[in-house]
């Protein structure tokens, strides 16, 4: 496995694969890798000849009071995990390599689906994601790109601009990887104190309870209120608890699949999770 830190180096490493028309898979990450990230790589290995994983903590997707400076950076450990799972190339550029030192004048903004959920709490976040992912797509030029369903809204935003801008690749969504107690794996779980780590699985438990309630006919507003109560009782401060259609539209009829979304803080740590609830008659 190679690690490249410059665009030139990465291009040189990928050129033989491109010339041989190999299928290139790409997994963008911010590092501090866990089994959720590694599952994306495993999926990529199934479909692709060459797998590139980027590790880049993207400054422009963090708000001024967010955790850009303290975000865990663990490159050596990440390289070991990626080598073990069969990644071919790690791309770990500096901020300067990605953004240069002259101002960037171009933005990529996806409307409607970003004016909701995390987009309301994190203004500019999805623009920052869209810009960096587009730059990475142009640098790597993959055939397939892999993203986790844990960041459901992010995945929808990426699918949208890939379609709108005719970016020539296929986006693959990968199911959420969870700890045994149900907590969705996240690099931010490392911020949790032992006490907070113990209550964190309440997020997933409340989603599963909500699924049961919905499928046994409890109305949606009551179900959402139950989630809010459960989380507040164990000490969460709620950003949002919402239901949307799988396409992120507001729910108007109840006889359809829906996705439940939670963003909530325990201590200083903001956790997100979601669950697709199938409509059953
Ligand atoms: P991040 O490093 O947090 O930016 O995540 C990089 C990619 O890994 C994104 O596509 C995430 O959706 C995905 N990811 C992170 N955590 C998980 C998880 N628990 N299960 C599945 N995918 C995940």
- pLDDT 10s digits, 240-252: 999 999 999 999 8
pLDDT, residue 84, reads 98
Q: Which CATH architecture has domain 187-273?
A: 2-Layer Sandwich (3.30)
Catalytic choice (37, 125, 196, 252): 37
pLDDT, residue 281, reads 67
pLDDT, residue 248, reads 97
Atom of ligand 1 nearest to the CA of 146: 10
pLDDT, residue 252, reads 86
Task: Name which residue sits closest to atom 12 of ligand 1, judged by CA.
Answer: 148
Q: Which CATH architecture has domain 2-174?
A: 3-Layer(aba) Sandwich (3.40)
125 is catalytic: no
What does the domain layout of the chain look like in residue ranges? 2-174, 187-273
Proportion of the chain above pLDDT 90, given as a percent: 97
pLDDT, residue 279, reads 86
Residues with CB under 6 A from ligand 1: 29-30, 36-37, 39-40, 147-148, 150-151, 174, 176-177, 184-187
The C-alpha atoms of residue 201 and residue 183 are separated, in whole angstroms, by 5
The C-alpha atoms of residue 157 and residue 226 are separated, in whole angstroms, by 29
Low-confidence ranges of the chain (pLDDT < 50): none
Measure 168 CA to ligand 1 centroid, in angstroms. 22
Measure 17 CA to ligand 1 centroid, in angstroms. 26
């Amino acid at each position: 496995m190679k690690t490249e830190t410059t665009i030139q180096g990465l291009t040189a490493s990928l050129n033989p694969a491109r010339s041989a028309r190999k299928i290139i898979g790409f997994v963008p990450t911010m590092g501090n890798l866990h089994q959720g990230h590694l599952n994306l790589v495993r999926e990529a290995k199934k479909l692709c000849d060459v797998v590139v994983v980027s590790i880049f903590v993207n400054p422009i997707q963090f708000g001024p009071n967010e955790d850009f400076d303290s975000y865990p950076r663990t490159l050596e450990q990440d390289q070991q995990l990626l080598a073990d799972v069969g990644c071919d190339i790690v791309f770990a550029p500096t901020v300067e390599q990605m953004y240069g030192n002259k101002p960037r004048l171009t933005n990529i903004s996806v409307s409607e689906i970003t004016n909701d959920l995390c987009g309301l709490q994190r203004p500019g976040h999805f623009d920052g994601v869209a810009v960096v992912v587009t730059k990475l797509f142009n640098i790597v030029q993959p055939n397939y790109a892999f993203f986790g369903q844990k960041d459901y809204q992010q995945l929808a935003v990426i699918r949208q601009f890939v379609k709108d801008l005719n970016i020539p690749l296929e986006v693959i969504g990968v199911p959420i990887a969870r700890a045994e107690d149900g907590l969705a794996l996240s690099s931010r779980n490392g911020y949790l104190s032992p006490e907070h780590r113990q209550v964190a699985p309440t997020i997933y438990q409340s989603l599963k309870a909500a699924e049961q309630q919905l499928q046994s006919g409890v109305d949606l507003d009551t179900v959402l209120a139950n989630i809010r109560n459960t989380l507040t009782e164990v000490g969460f401060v709620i950003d949002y608890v919402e239901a949307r259609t799988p396409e992120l539209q507001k729910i108007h009829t109840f006889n359809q699949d829906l996705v439940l979304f939670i963003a909530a803080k325990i201590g200083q740590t903001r956790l997100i999770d979601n669950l697709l609830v199938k409509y059953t008659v």
